[in-house]
Structure formats: C-alpha cells, structure tokens
Structure 1
Amino acid sequence: ERLLGYKKEELIGKSFLKLKLLSLADIPKAAKLLVKNLRGQPTGSDEFVLNRKDNSKVTVEISTYPVKIKGRVLALGIARDITERKEAEKALADSEEKYRTVFENTGTATIIIEEDEIISMVNTQSEKMYGYSKKEIENKMKWTDFVIPEDLERMKKYHIARRKAGGKAPTEYEFRMIDKKGNIRDIFLKIGMIPNTKKSIASLMDITERK
C-alpha cells in the first residue's frame, strides 16, 4: 500500500496490466520473468519503474519465487523501493561529471594520485607535459616514473607524510621531471589531499624557461 498507493482490496485478484503498474517498455521483461516462475525458477533481483496510483513513479528491485497454491503455480514477488538509492546514484554521477569537467579544464597539468603512487587520472595538459596518453598513464604508471632519482627520495617522504594523521608535507615545491622523450624539466607543483580519501590531487607547472 505504501509503495504503490493502492489498498490491498484494489490489488488482490487484479491484473498488473490492467492496473498499468508497469510501463510499456517493462512489460516484455516482466513477461519473461513470469515464464521462468511458471517453469519453477526464481528470478531477481530486477529493476522496474512502477506507476503509483497518483501517477508518480517508484523504482523498485523485484525478486520473484514460484509457489504452489491449490495445485496452481503462482509467482510470489518481493519488491524493494530503491528510488532514493537511484536518485543518489544519479546525483553522484552528475557530481562526478561536473568534477571531471572542472578537472579537465583547469588550464594546468593536473593529476590524481593514489596511496600506492599510481596515477589514476590525468587531464589533457598532463598528456602534453608527460608525452604519454591518458590510456598509457591512468592506473598503469606511478608519479615516481616521472621524477629524476635525485628528487625521488624527498618526494616519497612527502607522499607518505601527507597521508599520515598529523603528518606534515609541503603543499608547494619544485622538482625535476623526466618526460617520455627523456627531457628533464623544472616543475613547480601544488598538491593537496582530497578530503576523506587517501588520494591527492596535484597541479604541475613547467617553469623550465624561467630557470
């Protein structure tokens, strides 16, 4: 009753088709599940968008089980309202899309670094700076792959300290980077932790010509 807005008396013995509980697009999927039940097979969980009595929509996960009552095989359906979860997922997806747009258009080389030193995301400016494509870098290469040996130990200490409670590491400093062609560049880096994660986000500026 809470889920659909109908009283029990309005639903018992009624066809879900006549009540128009399902959208036309979902009817073929529901029919296939019903056939499985008639063959003695349980189904689910499957997502459906149901029409409430007041014509509003509710997204549900439905699991069905074949049951025998007085010699007849019927389908017992259990529905769970997941509308809020779907809305939260959409909001998260929208937020991620906005984040990616900002990330891609910062105007400087920007990367996201995981706790294990892997670079999980780069923007187009980073591709130009490193000389590698996103496909070559993301989730495959480490930031340490681009740092000259003389600067590496210092930066590794920063990386660890930044992720420790109470750890102190500078948020701005210079280092020397090696690109794909073996060129060494002077880089000014700004870096900080992404709240509630072990990830850090860094922007890199090539200052070689200023040196």
Structure 2
Amino acid sequence: FPVEIGKQTLVLGIGRDITERKRAEEALRESEERLKILFEFAPDAYYLNDLQGKFVDGNKAAEEITGYTREELIGKNMLELKLLPPEQIAKAAAALARHAHGKHAGPNEFALNRKDGSQVPVEIRAFPVEIKGQTLVLGIARDISERKRAEEEMRESEERYRNLFDSTHDMVQSVAPDGRLVFVNQVWLETLGYTEADLPSLNLFDIIHPESLSHCQELFSRVMAGESLDHVEATFVAKDGRPTVVEGHVTPRLAGGGVVATHGFFRDITERKRAEEERK
C-alpha cells in the first residue's frame, strides 16, 4: 500500500515466508492422493454412503461386485437399486441405525442382487466416518462366494460320512478355523456327555482341559497350516467336568484351495492312563 515519505510516495509491501505452509499443503495433497489410490484399487468393494443410505462414492471393486457403474450408484440407495432381497432390508436398516449413533456394524452377511439379476454372497463391515463436517458411512464388502461354496461342500461331505462316522468306535470331530465344532459323531457325544443341542454354543477350546490348552492351540495352528498330526494326546473335559484323556490323529480338511476345517479321530484312553498310574 502507498505511503508518503517526505515528498516521495512509496509503496510499502509486506512479505511473509509461507514455505512451511506450502510444504504442509503439498504433504496433505500427496497423502490424499495415496489414500485415493488405496481406496480406488482395494481388492474389496469400498463405498461411502450417507445416513439415509444414499451412495456418495465407490471404488472399482464396488462397481464389479454390484455390476453398476459409479455414476449409476451415486445418489441412489440400496432400496432404489434393489440390491438386497426384501427379507434382509431390516438387517441393513439396523446397521444404519447403529451408524447414526456413531457405532460400527458387522461383519454381516448379505445376499447382494447384482444388476444382471445374479446374486453374490457378501460380508460387510461398515464404520461411521467424518468427512468435511458430514457423517458418512465407510462400507467394506467382501465377496465370500468361495468361502460359502467351501462351507457347503464341507457340509455335504459331513452329511455323506455321518453314518460312517457314527458306526465307528472312535470319537470323531470336525472343527472350523474359528474353533466351532462343525460335526461330532455319536461316540464323541456319549463319551463326553454332550447332546446335539449343546454343539452350537460349544467351541473346541471350551472342552479342552486347561493343562492341555496351550499344547492343543499349537497343534490346531499347525493343522490349519496344512500339517497332519499322528499320536496326538490331549485331555478333554466332559460336560459333567470329568477329565477325559484321548489320543488319536488330526488332519486338515482342504477345499477351495485352502484349509477349511480340521478332522480329528480320537480314542478314550482314560482308563488305560489310570491303570498305568496305578502300576507305578
């Protein structure tokens, strides 16, 4: 701005070093670019929607899994696009209600209706996020077709062999990667005193004696990595609290290119171990 100094009119300028600010702006821009690339090329379907369920953005995987282009998705919600079957809409609405209260939802399984009329099973996790002062929902949808196919193959296989397993004198169990007991035979139930009704609430590690727990967890990890184990000895806990010593072998159940369960075949050796102790 002009200033008078004596008989001269001069222009006074004020400069400020903004090197740090420009450096910070450039770092922010680079960070946003990296995040944009991660979002766009993530292998799972990433999408953003508002609290009314309207899509705000989506990545390439979201386009592939739904069959819709990003332009077709943005501004519409799942109901308009009929992405979910009617019986699953209530579950989706419950998830949105959680987001409105700042809570995450999932993992939840849905059957996604694609644009071409086909269905794909997906597992969705969703998290409320704040972007430019607006609360949005970041959803991550994973195609679980292969996993569901492997589970179905395993179920059919277990059904085929159920009669065979029930006729054996050994305890037979099949365990999922998370420790759920997928199948046990009648001898297993009778030996440990459980019923079929008990199974949904049982985990493998619930029925292992504390003294065997760390050993069995290590063996389970090895089998899930593809190893077959012979001469396995462990102590189970019966429903009434009795320790039951067993020995046998455990093998991995392969499907879809990976290990989907473990198969264990055991024999109750409690009496034999007791007799050995008495002879000492």
Aligned with 2:108 (options 173, 182, 204): 173
Aligned with 2:135 (options 193, 198, 203): 198
**Do structure 1's residue 82 and structure 2's residue 82 form an aligned pair?**
no
TM-score (norm 1): 0.54
How many angstroms apart in 2 are the aligned matches of 1:85 and 1:176? 48
Aligned to 2:33: 97
Aligned to 1:124: 60
Cα separation, partners in 2 of 1:122 and 1:68, compared to 1, 3 Å? same
SS of the residue corresponding to residue 198 of structure 1 reads strand
Question: Structure 2: which amino acid aligns with 1:158?
Answer: A
Give 1 or 2: higher helix fraction. Answer: 2
Aligned with 2:85 (options 148, 159, 167): 148
Alignment deviations for residues 60-98 of structure 1 (CA, whole Å, 9 cap, x no partner): xxxxx4566677664443434433332222111111122
| Identical positions, percent | 26
Q: Is the 8 Å Cα contact of residues 68 and 74 (structure 1) preserved in structure 2?
A: yes
SS of the residue corresponding to residue 199 of structure 1 reads strand
Aligned to 1:56: none
Question: Structure 1: which amino acid aligns with 2:64?
Answer: K
Aligned with 1:134 (options 70, 87, 92): 70
Structure 1 residue 172, shift from structure 2 partner = 0.3
SS of the residue corresponding to residue 115 of structure 1 reads coil
How many angstroms apart in 1 are the aligned matches of 2:3 and 2:68? 59
In the TM superposition, 1:10-159 aligns within 5 A as: 65=1, 74-138=10-74, 140-144=75-79, 145=81, 146-159=83-96
**Do structure 1's residue 184 and structure 2's residue 119 form an aligned pair?**
yes
SS of the residue corresponding to residue 173 of structure 1 reads strand
Question: Structure 2: which amino acid aligns with 1:142?
Answer: N
Q: Which runs of 5+ in 1 are unaligned?
A: 1-64
Alignment deviations for residues 75-123 of structure 1 (CA, whole Å, 9 cap, x no partner): 4434344333322221111111221222233212221233343323322
How many angstroms apart in 1 are the aligned matches of 2:23 and 2:114? 43
Aligned-pair Cα RMSD in Å: 3.1
Q: Is the 8 Å Cα contact of residues 109 and 123 (structure 2) preserved in structure 1?
A: yes
Aligned with 2:99 (options 125, 149, 162): 162
How many angstroms apart in 1 are the aligned matches of 2:86 and 2:10? 71
How many angstroms apart in 1 are the aligned matches of 2:68 and 2:3? 59
Aligned to 1:50: none
Cα separation, partners in 2 of 1:83 and 1:184, compared to 1, 3 Å? same
Q: Is the 8 Å Cα contact of residues 120 and 145 (structure 2) preserved in structure 1?
A: yes
Cα separation, partners in 2 of 1:71 and 1:104, compared to 1, 3 Å? same
How many angstroms apart in 1 are the aligned matches of 2:14 and 2:78? 49
Structure 1 residue 126, shift from structure 2 partner = 1.1
What is the number of equivalent residue pairs in this alignment?
Answer: 144
Question: Structure 1: which amino acid aligns with 2:58?
Answer: V
How many angstroms apart in 2 are the aligned matches of 1:118 and 1:142? 4
How many angstroms apart in 1 are the aligned matches of 2:85 and 2:58? 20
Cα separation, partners in 2 of 1:67 and 1:178, compared to 1, 3 Å? farther
Q: Is the 8 Å Cα contact of residues 113 and 143 (structure 1) preserved in structure 2?
A: no
TM-score (norm 2): 0.42
How many angstroms apart in 1 are the aligned matches of 2:89 and 2:14? 57
Larger Rg: 2
